[in-house]
């Protein structure tokens, strides 16, 4: 079940959410990197 859910999510993003996700990805990538560094330091 978990695998099927993951597959569906990527498929939906590939269908017509790649353009919108690209813009959000750059912004979320910066925040994700900062959070990851904090977690690693702890």
Residues 12, 20: Cα–Cα separation, whole Å: 12
For the record, the structure tokens of 33 come out as 């990197």
- pLDDT single digits (tens) 2-38: 555 556 666 666 666 556 556 656 666 666 666 666 6
- Looking at residue 2, its pLDDT comes to 57
- Looking at residue 29, its pLDDT comes to 63
For the cut 60, the answer to whether the pLDDT of residue 1 exceeds it is no
Residues 21, 10: Cα–Cα separation, whole Å: 11
- Looking at residue 32, its pLDDT comes to 61
pTM of the predicted structure, to 2 decimals = 0.15
């Amino acid at each position: 079940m978990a695998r099927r859910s993951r597959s569906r999510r990527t498929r939906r993003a590939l269908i017509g959410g790649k353009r919108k996700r690209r813009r959000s990805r750059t912004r979320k990538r910066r925040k994700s990197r900062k959070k990851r560094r904090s977690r690693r330091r702890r």
